[in-house]
Amino acid sequence: MFSVNRTVKGPNELRRLNRSSDLRSIEPMIFRDPEWDFMRPSERDELLGIVYSLLVKRAKEKIPFYAELYKGVDVSRLASMEDIMNLPVLRKESTLHSNGLREAIRESKEVLKPVDVKGTSVWTTTGSTGMTQIPVHYAEPWDFDIENYAVARIWDSLGISPEDNVYDCYNPAHPGGFMFPGVCRIVGASHRFKPPEFSVEDTARELREWYNGRSPFTVLLAVPSSTGDPLGRKGTNLKTLLDESMDVFGGHGINKLFLIGSGITSELIERIEGELHGIKGSGGYGTAEHRPLAYSPVNGDAGRVCKYNQQHLTFGPHYVFLGRDQGDRVAPIFTPGEEGEVYTIGLRYGTPLILYKTGDMATIITDNCSCGRTTPVIGNIRRLDPEEIAGVGCRYD
């Protein structure tokens, strides 16, 4: 198991919480602890049940939309994940059972903003479907910190450390790209954004200049590839950089990859396996609403799990599971081989999304991975439009 230096207790610190506790009394650093990925599922559910019971209570008290959704629910009696799972489903679209988020947001852009939070940072869903975007309010700094520490936990497993120099190809104005400087501060690595005006040729030239200098980049953060134009060369991503700058990979150069974005194609997988020997990589899966949801660790039985379109679900701060919408509730599924919809519970002091139906589909691959993690592995993550998925990534090493 990975070791992490910390000044607070691990996940069991959550047992000190009581029904009157403030969520922000939880130290965000707790979510960097690798124990979340290796503890017994029953213990993990017990700890998260304590946290989410407080979350639901706060949501009903402070957010009018949840007050209506949970009408008739005595939230003071919630005490376990089983109780949480029996709450009404949060849907994007309205049904006979509940009003949807998009309908409510058309009436008020602040329908999901807690009444006791004055200033928030607001991110919206990407709106790639052309439907109403969903604003998500982040109460700073706690809401950002808990997600940053969870991503740092993933980076610890990838071996990213203070000795690394990170080159970031993501858009800093997007919620995914916004978080990476904070994650770098947590792990102690240096960070540089790719200038937004850079073409792929400019990016390759800069990587090569640093490679030949005193501080080569050792970690690349990038979208795997893009099908934005017929040549697949829209923007700077792993595919285009491999075309332009293979000489900066390996050796004292880039030796770790972290990819989130459009799916990794079979052709790109073949290139990675054929050309990037000895380079560690991980693919992540997330949404504009929650990050992270799942990731591909770099250790484990590559032939069975944790490879290609297969990722371990990530628990703490968020809770991710597959289920089927039964109208009045969601029925979780656990059996390998079963396909279901992806649901999340998002821990946030600003806008929590509880039993949220993301619109993604996935299949449970296994609940018994040889890498030692006790979190289920999902695969075949999909939507009707694959480009809407943020991070159907791969593991390769």
Q: Compute the distance between CA of residue 121 and CA of residue 123 in angstroms, rounded to an integer.
A: 7
SS3 12: helix
Q: Could you tell me if 126 and 134 are in contact, meaning their C-beta atoms sit under 8 angstroms apart? A: no
Backbone angles phi, psi at 140, to 5 degrees: -85, 150
Q: Compute the distance between CA of residue 377 and CA of residue 306 in angstroms, rounded to an integer.
A: 7
Strands 135-138 and 165-168: unpaired
Residue 275 has what pLDDT?
87
Least confident of 198-202, 203-207, 316-320: 198-202
Task: Name 7's Cβ contacts closer than 8 Å, sequence gap at least 6.
Answer: 29
Mean pLDDT of the chain: 85
Residue 102 has what pLDDT?
87
Q: Which of 24-28, 210-214, 288-292 has the highest mean pLDDT?
A: 24-28
Model confidence at 306: pLDDT above 70:
no
- What is the per-residue pLDDT across 112-162, written as a single tens digit (0 to 9) for each? 999 999 877 887 765 555 567 888 999 999 999 999 999 999 999 889 999
Task: Name 164's Cβ contacts closer than 8 Å, sequence gap at least 6.
Answer: 187, 189, 190, 218, 219, 256
Place of tokens 């990925």: 37
Q: Which fold has domain 142-396?
A: Rossmann fold (3.40.50)
Least confident of 240-249, 257-266, 343-352: 257-266
Q: Compute the distance between CA of residue 245 and CA of residue 193 in angstroms, rounded to an integer.
A: 17
- Planar angle of CA 4, 148, 343, nearest 5 degrees: 110
Which amino acid does the sequence have at 93?
Answer: E
Mean pLDDT of 375-396: 60
Which amino acid does the sequence have at 234?
Answer: K
User: How many Cβ atoms sit within 10 Å of the Cβ of residue 214?
Assistant: 5
Chain centre distance of CA 306: 16
Q: What percent of the residues of the chain are helix, what percent strand, and what percent coil, each to the nearest 5? A: 30, 20, 50
Answering whether pTM is above 0.85, one says yes
Q: So where are the chain's domains?
A: 11-107, 142-396
Residue 225, sorted as left (phi over 0), alpha (psi -120 to 50) or beta, turns out to be beta
Q: Compute the distance between CA of residue 8 and CA of residue 106 in angstroms, rounded to an integer.
A: 43
SS3 104: helix
Q: Where are the alpha helices (DSSP H) in 63-137?
A: 64-69, 81-85, 101-107
Q: Compute the distance between CA of residue 21 and CA of residue 335 in angstroms, rounded to an integer.
A: 35
Q: Could you tell me if 222 and 193 are in contact, meaning their C-beta atoms sit under 8 angstroms apart? A: no
User: How many Cβ atoms sit within 10 Å of the Cβ of residue 274?
Assistant: 8
Residue 236 has what pLDDT?
83
Q: What is the DSSP string of 208-275?
A: HHHHTSSS---EEEE-S---SSTTS--SS-HHHHHHH-GGGBSTTSB-EEEE-SS---HHHHHHHHHH
Would you give the DSSP letter of residue 148?
A: H
Band (344; pLDDT cuts 50, 70, 90): very high
